[in-house]
Amino acid sequence: MKFQERREVIEFLNDFEKGNPTEDWVFEGFKVWPILKTSLFLRLFWGIKESNNSKRLGLTYSIKKAVKRLILSFEIKNVKLKPSDYLFFSGVNFREKFKGESFNKFYDPIADILVKSSEEFVFFEYGNEIKEKTYQDRGINIQKIYNYFESKIKEKPIDFSKWKGVEGFISFFENKLSNPSFSVRAEMFETLIKVLIWKASFEWILTRTKPRKIFLLSYYNIPCFGLLIAARNKGIECVDIQHGTQGSFHSAYSGFKSDYSILPSIFWLWDKKTESHLLENLKFKNVKTLIGGNPWHYFLENEKIELKLKRPTILFTLQPLSPILDEYILDSIIKTKDKYDWLLRLHPRIDSESKEQLVSLLGSLNIFDSTLWNVANETPLPFLLKEVDLHISKFSGCISEAADLGTFSIILEEIGETTYSHLIEEGIAVGDIDFNVDNLLSAIQLNIGKKKLTETVDLEIVIDQIC
């Protein structure tokens, strides 16, 4: 999605919310606007990868569902849960390998502090089962619980016509997606049914764990929405921890006129500037914030690692976009490969096929170095961001992380320049590259090696405040 299109979509969503009673869009007792607003935006952002036509039809499906429910009813009895003070929930994509273990880079640092005060907590995760050893053996995969409640939920048609203004909303996204095989209505139905299943799953979990507070990562994904609804119904506060880019052009962090009884109770931000932007962009009065810093950075502050690179080093944090590397970036790497070491860091969402294609392309251009590739993708990101001489990205949250660690960034696209305009003003980032090789090479030469002294938020003080 190009910047101008992104601006158009965000402006449409914000104007639509102001002009329509979106607070009256209710399904099964919960307000759906935050869910539909963010899910359709993300569908447009990531694109259509598969048909969303419902497969929940016919006698065969009903039989399979009944059999599945019977099997899972036995499996779910083996899920033993006990009361905990705190519940942490995230996707497995927030894990990183560290010293031979799988580490949740935002939650494990917090949990280590809670251990000191003998607090009870539990980690739940969605996504593929983690095969390797997890740090301190933390993490319960929630998929079996979800599958069980998926087999139990009885689906009912949704009468969208009861929601005033919904036809304009649907029409806008149909025109934007412009794909005859994709149905916006079907997407809305499938999304809300999944939220309903996650809600039921978490009602079951929360009844057994009885947490005082819940921590979320990416509150705006479908599983987290289910948790937010279940938690709100039980009067439990939910804390959304910043994990990347926010700002006025992020559909989940701007424009809401109320909390819709579904948004997080508290937003944990990395720094004061991000907090001020959030308060400008969220329009409801009862929004609560906390400056908690980046837990991963706090954890690694006293850890040491030597990259053993021979030349000035540039880290490029890739994003799951097409193309992954533009021609002008490839040309810049080719022209400077004997002067700088280029570290190309994959985003967790970049699939194996795209990775293989990228490696093949770099090899054909004689700019693939397996040693540098391994350093870029096997070293914890904060170490890279702290140790390299320069960071480059389009609009990744890594730009904010680099600034937090004192490293200068070159921002390649307008959405990044707008989101991180405060970092450009502070002199820790620069933009205006305009997809131009000469502009990029000039910016590299002028800014490589620039560093800024930074202070890390004391995570123990933060946890003492919030827990």
DSSP string, 314-363: EEEE--S-SSSS-HHHHHHHHHHTTTSEEEEEPPTTS-HHHHHHHHHHHH
pLDDT bracket for residue 121 (50, 70, 90): very high
pLDDT in tens, 16-71: 999 999 999 999 999 999 999 999 999 988 877 654 444 555 556 566 656 666 66
- Does residue 95 sit in helix, strand or coil? strand
For residues 460 and 467, what is the distance between their CA atoms, to the nearest angstrom? 10
Please tell me the predicted confidence (pLDDT) of residue 301. Answer: 85
What order do you get walking across the sheet with 429-430 strand by strand? 341-345, 313-317, 390-393, 409-411, 429-430
Please tell me the predicted confidence (pLDDT) of residue 62. Answer: 60
Please tell me the predicted confidence (pLDDT) of residue 72. Answer: 67
pLDDT bracket for residue 11 (50, 70, 90): very high
What are the residue boundaries of the structural domains of the chain, listed by start? 1-291, 313-447
The residues, ordered by sequence, that sit 6+ positions from 189 with a Cβ below 8 Å of its Cβ are 54, 158
Give Cα 193 to chain centroid, integer Å: 22
Whether residue 296 is predicted with pLDDT greater than 60 in this model: the reply is: yes
Please tell me the predicted confidence (pLDDT) of residue 53. Answer: 45
pLDDT bracket for residue 245 (50, 70, 90): confident
Contacts of residues 149-158 at CB distance under 8 Å and 24 or more positions apart, as own/partner, are: 149/197, 149/200, 149/201, 149/204, 150/197, 151/65, 151/66, 151/68, 151/69, 151/72, 152/69, 152/200, 153/193, 153/196, 153/197, 153/200, 155/56, 155/193, 158/27, 158/188, 158/189, 158/192
Please tell me the predicted confidence (pLDDT) of residue 52. Answer: 45
Token pair for residue 258? 């109320």
> With 0-12 CB in 10 A as exposed, 13-18 as middle and 19+ as buried, what is 396?
buried
pLDDT in tens, 31-45: 999 999 999 999 988
pLDDT in tens, 356-411: 999 999 999 999 999 999 999 999 999 999 999 999 999 999 999 999 999 999 99
Compute the average pLDDT of residues 74-87: 84
The residues, ordered by sequence, that sit 6+ positions from 40 with a Cβ below 8 Å of its Cβ are 173, 184, 187, 188
Q: Strand pairing partners for 238?
A: 214
Please tell me the predicted confidence (pLDDT) of residue 65. Answer: 58
Whose structure tokens read 């570290």?
343
Please tell me the predicted confidence (pLDDT) of residue 153. Answer: 84
For residues 19 and 17, what is the distance between their CA atoms, to the nearest angstrom? 6
Whether residue 457 is predicted with pLDDT greater than 60 in this model: the reply is: yes
DSSP state of 466: H
Chosen CATH of 313-447 out of 3.40.605.10, 3.40.50.2000, 3.50.50.60, 3.40.50.1440 = 3.40.50.2000
pLDDT bracket for residue 437 (50, 70, 90): very high
Token pair for residue 389? 């001489």
Whose structure tokens read 């399904």?
27
**Side-chain half-sphere exposure of 305, counting CA atoms within 13 A:** 19
DSSP state of 407: B
Q: Strand pairing partners for 343?
A: 315
Please tell me the predicted confidence (pLDDT) of residue 51. Answer: 46
Whose structure tokens read 């022209």?
335
271 residue type, one letter? D
Compute the average pLDDT of residues 460-466: 94
- Does residue 47 sit in helix, strand or coil? coil
The residues, ordered by sequence, that sit 6+ positions from 45 with a Cβ below 8 Å of its Cβ are 1, 6
- Does residue 72 sit in helix, strand or coil? helix
pLDDT in tens, 140-183: 999 889 988 998 888 888 999 999 999 999 999 999 988 888 99
Q: What percent of the chain has pLDDT over 70?
A: 94
DSSP state of 2: -
SS3 readout for 181-206? CCCHHHHHHHHHHHHHHHHHHHHHHH
For residues 99 and 299, the answer to whether their CB atoms sit within 8 Å is no
As a whole number, the mean pLDDT across the chain is: 91
With CA atoms as reference, report the closest residue to 265 among 219, 302, 296, 226. 219
Whether residue 99 is predicted with pLDDT greater than 90 in this model: the reply is: no
Most confident of 80-84, 303-307, 389-393: 389-393
> Which stretch of 79-88, 301-310, 339-348, 365-374 has the lowest confidence by average pLDDT?
301-310
pLDDT in tens, 412-431: 999 999 999 999 999 999 99
Token pair for residue 150? 């998926």
306 residue type, one letter? E
Please tell me the predicted confidence (pLDDT) of residue 201. Answer: 95
Task: Centre a 10 Å sphere on the Cβ of residue 180 and count the other Cβ atoms it contains.
Answer: 7
pLDDT in tens, 200-239: 999 999 999 999 999 999 999 999 999 999 999 999 999 9
